[in-house]
Amino acid sequence: MVFTARSAFIQLQRRAFSSTATSAYKVAVLGAAGGIGQPLSLLLKLNQKVTDLALYDLRGAPGVAADVSHVPTNSTVAGYLPDNDGLKKTLEGADVVLIPAGIPRKPGMTRDDLFNTNASIVRDLAKGAAEYAPNAFMLIIANPVNSTVPIVSEVYKSKGVYNPKRLFGVTTLDVLRASRFISQVQGTNPVEEPVPVVGGHSGVTIVPLLSQSKHASIEGETRDALVNRIQFGGDEVVKAKDGAGSATLSMAQAAARFTDSLLTSLEGTPVTEPTFVDSPLFKDEGIEFFASQVTLGPEGAEVIHPLGKLTPYEEGLVEAAKADLKKNIEKGIKFVAENP
Ligand code: LMR
C-alpha cells in the first residue's frame, strides 16, 4: 500500500498530543453540548494546534466551554447560544468548523432514518457557516453523512461560496474500526494495522479494502465477517446503548484525529487518509461524492486518489456501495432544492 506505511500511521496516532504549535487555528464545534460534541471539545482542547475553540449549541455550550477551559493547554475557549449573535460569534474567524449536531440513532434505525430531523439542522448551520465562515474547512459528522455533505454543498452553491476542496464528510471512525477489528482477528496492535476504507459512511457504502491491508490473504468466512463488522460497527454501539444513542466517544476521537490531520496539513505536512469528498472518481456515473484516500494540504482536499487495485470481491462491494450512495446523495441534493 502506498499511503499508509506503518511509520506514517503510527505518527498519525501520536501526533495530536505531542505537537508544538506553529500556527494559530480557530476551531468551531456546532453541537458542542451533545454526546459527540462534549468529548470532541475536550479532545480539541487537548490538541496543541488549536489556539481558539468556539463551542456552539442550542443549550449548554457555555457550560461545556467553562468546563473544558480549565484543561491546561494554551488555547482560549468560548461557548455560545443562539441569542446575542452566538452563531456569528462562534463562526467568525474560524479556520475549521465541525458539525456533530443532530439526533442519534436508536436500535432498529438506519442512519437514513435520521434524515428528516438532521437534514434541516445541518442545512441551517450550513447557512450560518456560508455567511460567517465561508472559507473555513467544513467537517461533517452529523448523520446521514452520505446526505448531509451534499446538503452543505448545495447550500454553499446557492450562496456562491462552495469550494469543493474544503468540505469533508468525516469517515475516520470506519478507518479506526477497521484497524481495531482486524487487529482483534489477527491478534495484533491496531496502531500498526492501517486499512483504507472507501465509499461512504453507512452500511454497505462502507467498503474496507482488506487487500490493501497487511492481511491481503484473509479470505472466506473470516473476511466476510470482518467486512460485515466494519460496515455495521455503528449498529453494535447503538444496540449496546439500548436507546441511549450511538457512538459518541469513538466518533469524537475519529473527528479529533481527522481535525488534527487537517491542521497538520495546513501547517505544511501533507497527510493522506480516507474522507468523503466531492470526488471525480464516479461522477460519470452520477455519484458526486465518494470517500477514498485524500491528500490534505493548505487548500484542503488537494489530491483525491483512485481506489487502487481491487479484488473481484471488493469490486462487488464498491458496486453495492455506489447504488446506495447515489440515492443518499440525490436525497440530500433534492432536499435543499425543495427546502432552500
Ligand atoms: C457511527 O458510525 O457510529 C456513527 O455514524 C453513528 C451511528 O449512527 O452509527
Distance CA 201, CA 230 (A): 11
Choose the final residue of a domain: 127, 146, 171.
171
Pocket lining: 254 vs ligand 1, CB cutoff 6 Å:
no
Give the chain's mean pLDDT.
Answer: 94
Q: Answer yes or no: are the C-beta atoms of 79 and 55 closer than 8 Å.
A: yes
| Residue 3 in domain | no
Pocket lining: 234 vs ligand 1, CB cutoff 6 Å:
yes
Q: Tell whether 253 and 269 lie within a shared domain.
A: yes
> Cell triple for residue 48?
496543541
CA of residue 245 to ligand 1 center, whole Å: 9
Query: Of the listed 70, 201, 215, 305, which one is catalytic?
Result: 201
Which residue is closest in CA terms to ligand 1's atom 7?
234
pLDDT band for 22, please (50, 70, 90 cuts).
Answer: low
- The residue whose CB lies within 8 Å of the most ligand 1 atoms, and thus the one to mutate among 173, 181, 231, is 173
User: For the domain that residue 197 is a member of, what is the CATH number?
Assistant: 3.90.110.10
Q: Tell whether 73 and 197 lie within a shared domain.
A: no
Distance CA 115, CA 142 (A): 10
pTM, two decimals, is 0.94
> Cell triple for residue 292?
477514498
Model confidence over 42-87: pLDDT tens digits?
A: 999 999 999 999 999 999 999 999 999 999 999 999 999 999 999 9
Choose the final residue of a domain: 121, 150, 171.
171
Q: Tell whether 325 and 180 lie within a shared domain.
A: yes
| Residue 5 in domain | no
Pocket lining: 28 vs ligand 1, CB cutoff 6 Å:
no
**DSSP letter, residue 58:** S
Which residue is closest in CA terms to ligand 1's atom 9?
234
Choose the final residue of a domain: 152, 171, 190.
171
Model confidence over 123-160: pLDDT tens digits?
A: 999 999 999 999 999 999 999 999 999 999 999 999 99
| Residue 10 in domain | no
Q: Characterize 209-239 residue by residue with b for buried, 16 or more Cβ atoms within 10 angstroms of its Cβ, and e for exposed.
A: bbbbbbbeebeeeebeebbebbbbbbbebbe
| Residue 91 in domain | yes
Q: Tell whether 150 and 286 lie within a shared domain.
A: no
**DSSP letter, residue 7:** H
Counted domains in the chain: 2
Distance CA 217, CA 230 (A): 17
Instruction: Spell out the residues 6+ positions from residue 296 whose beta carbon is closer than 8 angstroms to its own.
Output: 261, 262, 264, 265, 270, 271, 272, 273, 302
Which residues constitute the domain of residue 243? 172-331
Q: Tell whether 29 and 178 lie within a shared domain.
A: no
